[in-house]
Amino acid sequence: MQVVAVIPARGGSVGLPGKNIKPLNGIPLLGRSVLAAVGSKLISQVYVSSDSEAILSVGKEFGASAIVRPNDISGSQASSESALVHALRYVQDTAGALPDVLVFLQCTSPFTTSEQIDELVRQLVEKRADSAFSAVEDHGFIWEIAPDGTASGITHDHTKPRKRRQDMTPRYRENGAIYAMRVSSFLESENRFCGKTILVPTEMLPVEIDTPDDWSVAEVFAQLHDSSRIRGRVERIKALVTDFDGVHTDDRVLVHQDGSESVYCSRSDGMGIEMLRRKGLKLLILSKEKNPVVRARAEKLNMAVQHHVEDKLSALEVWRMGSMLAWSEVAYIGNDINDIECMKACGLSFCPSDAHPSIKKIADVILNHAGGKGALRELSEYLLANDHIA
């Protein structure tokens, strides 16, 4: 069974312009949906459908393939189904065959997980359904206003004594996060609720982003959600290891007439490092850079340093063992592809907001600040605020 995911994301968002690629706690809204789909055990390919080059670029950064959506199905009046049909025809043309199951995700629901996606697909298959959608239990009392101005209950009979919650028949509200359809049934009807439809009760944070107020609420939830996810699996941190270029600096170098080089660093970042040093963390700069400025900056910050290092993971392993640390007790911040192995090995990984796309895919925390412009200060405050320090 082949399962593909499609995430439609128009460039012309009305309620909150640019929301699809706006960072939510460091991760673009679209990036969160792509990461959830990429992490699924059942989905073989993830696609982003958009009329915006910027949106498609973000989708590719996080691991999705791009489908350029035609203008005639990209307006505010165009249905999601039209984008899904177009995407399936694209898949058929490029892959040579249609998939068996289509998963439709909406990036306005930023807290969808890979496990929730897989559970919905599993139930679709096990219950031999044609379509399935995620829903949350809803005990609300819905009313409507009649033409004469009087109110009447829709989900309840307001003329009778109100039932207790435990006596009510369970009701569910579609939350707009995950849909799955058998492709043959969907293409026949061009309706996400095709054939035999089932709902899958899904515990999910009650956030769907369409307005600036929704975004403000989501920012609070994102900080709590992301921190609790990490806290549940991370042991207390005893050491911080940092790359140099692109972390302590903005990844630029100033070359003087005599051939010497200089870089810019942040005093705020230096204070962040000092805050961690005072808490007793072991601190190491690990860099491939040959420039003596690396050692000079390390001495200024009272950090251990190893630079001109070709095999960073091996060097880190030797330092870790010599410091009597478990991998789970080490945090690492990097910004480029030569940091990938170290970030995967350590218990907690960070990257600046301007890190390479491949780094953003694996980082536990994508910081809001860029390298050399407050990223290390933000990391320090994060560790202190979330009680990660041993």
pLDDT over 90 at 12, yes or no = no
Written as six digits, the tokens of 190 are 């061009």
pLDDT over 80 at 283, yes or no = yes
Q: What is the pLDDT of residue 306?
A: 94
> Exposure of 148 by Cβ count < 10 A (0-12 exposed, 13-18 middle, 19+ buried)?
exposed
Q: What is the pLDDT of residue 232?
A: 55
As a whole-number percent, the residues of the chain with pLDDT over 70 amount to 97
- The answer to whether the CB of 43 falls within 8 A of the CB of 115 is no
Written as six digits, the tokens of 353 are 């907001």
Q: What is the pLDDT of residue 233?
A: 57
- The answer to whether the CB of 99 falls within 8 A of the CB of 4 is yes
Q: How confident is the model at residue 198 (pLDDT cuts 50, 70, 90)?
A: very high
Residues whose CB falls within 8 Å of the CB of residue 218, separated by 6 or more in sequence, listed in order: 24, 110, 207, 209
Written as six digits, the tokens of 297 are 């900056």
pLDDT over 70 at 132, yes or no = yes
Q: What is the pLDDT of residue 289?
A: 84
pLDDT over 90 at 388, yes or no = no
The model's pLDDT over 349-369, given as tens digits with 9 standing for 90+, comes to 999 999 988 898 889 888 989
Least reliable range by pLDDT among 37-51, 117-131, 163-177: 163-177
The model's pLDDT over 78-93, given as tens digits with 9 standing for 90+, comes to 899 999 999 999 999 9
What span, in angstroms and rounded, lies between the C-alpha atoms of 184 and 79? 19
Over residues 60-65, mean pLDDT? 90
As a whole-number percent, the residues of the chain with pLDDT over 90 amount to 64
Over residues 46-71, mean pLDDT? 94
pLDDT over 70 at 11, yes or no = yes
Residues whose CB falls within 8 Å of the CB of residue 43, separated by 6 or more in sequence, listed in order: 3, 4, 5, 37, 103, 117, 121
Q: What is the pLDDT of residue 74?
A: 87
Q: How confident is the model at residue 229 (pLDDT cuts 50, 70, 90)?
A: low
The model's pLDDT over 143-157, given as tens digits with 9 standing for 90+, comes to 999 999 999 988 888
Q: How high is the mean pLDDT of the chain?
A: 91
Over residues 304-324, mean pLDDT? 94
Q: How confident is the model at residue 165 (pLDDT cuts 50, 70, 90)?
A: confident
| Highest mean pLDDT out of 10-24, 75-89, 183-197 | 183-197
Selection from 384, 388, 353 nearest residue 370 by Cα:
353
Pairing of β 254-255 and β 261-262 = antiparallel
Q: How many CB atoms lie within 10 A of CB 353?
A: 19
Least reliable range by pLDDT among 7-11, 121-125, 126-130: 7-11
pLDDT over 70 at 311, yes or no = yes
Domain spanning 233-385: which CATH class is it, in words?
A: alpha beta
Over residues 188-212, mean pLDDT? 91
Q: What is the pLDDT of residue 120?
A: 98
Pairing of β 131-137 and β 172-182 = antiparallel
Written as six digits, the tokens of 115 are 């496990």
pLDDT over 70 at 228, yes or no = no
pLDDT over 80 at 168, yes or no = no
- The answer to whether the CB of 342 falls within 8 A of the CB of 315 is no
Q: What is the pLDDT of residue 332?
A: 98
Half-sphere exposure of 210 (CA within 13 A, CB side): 4
Domain boundaries, the chain: 3-210, 233-385
For the domain with range 3-210, which CATH number is right: 3.90.550.10, 3.30.300.30, 3.30.1490.20, 3.90.1310.10?
Answer: 3.90.550.10
Q: What is the pLDDT of residue 230?
A: 66
Q: What is the pLDDT of residue 180?
A: 98
